Amino acid sequence: MRSNKQRFVQLTLSYVVIIAMIAIILYPILWIVGSSLNPGNSLSGSSIIPSDATFEHYQELFDLEKSNYLLWYWNTIKICLLTMAISVALVCMTAYSFSRFRFYGRKNGLMTFLILQMIPNFAALIAIYALANLTNLLDTHLALILVYTGGAIPMNTYLMKGYLDTIPKELDESARMDGAGNLRVFWQIVLPLAKPMIAVVSLFTFITPFTDFILARILLRTEEKFTLAVGLYELIADQFGNEFTLFAAGSVLIALPISILFLSLQKYFVSGLTAGGTKG
């Protein structure tokens, strides 16, 4: 009897904690959505369910004569996709080299990657700005792609290498006995088995440029080159900027590409994250 009562109390407390956490997470999201549907520019009268909801702010975002939002969206998508593609390719090849081959400086290289992943990109903002200025890459998307790609390699290489270590090397040896070279083993044996971790790396490298503000604000100068984060900031950063509800509408739409990518890759995430942390 006492055991059943204790179990009921534990279950009740668990549900209370879960409901409280869900409320804490969902309330800001619902408030932003409600604010984007609120008429006018002020957030003072915003509520989760507006009494006179309107989609005029979303219509204004898609009006090319009033807003550069679609251009900022395209700039961001382009930077994210190119960063993701280049990062995944480099991370897979680098991690495969560290996982399957033994060479001079291997341990030092892994230790260097481990140290580099602890240093955030904004810690080197002055150096990044100076380097972009010297190479004439200031105010270009290429500069952002290179910085994001370089910043993504250390941590993701370490994760990918840990996952590749879990793939039996006997598969490589069997393929080589059939005449396969290293490139064929990598392309036809290792990569198909590494899909879970490739999905994880793809999501990480896509989200970072999409949500970054600091680097984009430092390197981009013209409005036509802005990303979403910088463009939306400019809506409310001016002296008379009061487009808060328009800012809320733009923020809601930012979540769509990330949500689509997450839902399309979610079946790989659990196995990828759990297996990627093995000791190398």
Say whether domain 65-275 belongs to CATH 2.60.40.650: no
Nearest to 91 by CA among 207, 183, 191: 191
pLDDT tens per residue across span 63-90: 888 788 999 999 999 999 999 999 999 9
Find the mean pLDDT for residues 18-24: 92
pLDDT tens per residue across span 188-198: 888 888 888 89
Residue ranges matching CATH 1.10.3720.10 in the chain: 65-275
How many helical (H) and strand (E) elements, i.e. helices and strands, does the chain have? Answer: 13, 0
Q: What pLDDT does residue 50 have?
A: 72
pLDDT bracket for residue 277 (50, 70, 90): very low
User: Any idea of the CA torsion for 68, 69, 70, 74, to the nearest 10 degrees?
Assistant: 100
pLDDT tens per residue across span 137-173: 999 999 999 999 988 898 889 889 988 988 888 888 8
- Above 50 in pLDDT, residue 278? no
Find the mean pLDDT for residues 82-109: 90
Q: pTM for this structure? A: 0.83
Residue 71 exposure: Cα atoms within 13 Å on the Cβ side: 13
The SS3 assignment for 19 reads helix
pLDDT, averaged across the chain = 84
CB 159 within 8 Å of CB 277? yes
Q: How far apart are CA 70 and CA 65, in angstroms?
A: 11
Per cent of the chain over pLDDT 90 is: 25
Nearest to 246 by CA among 16, 67, 113: 67
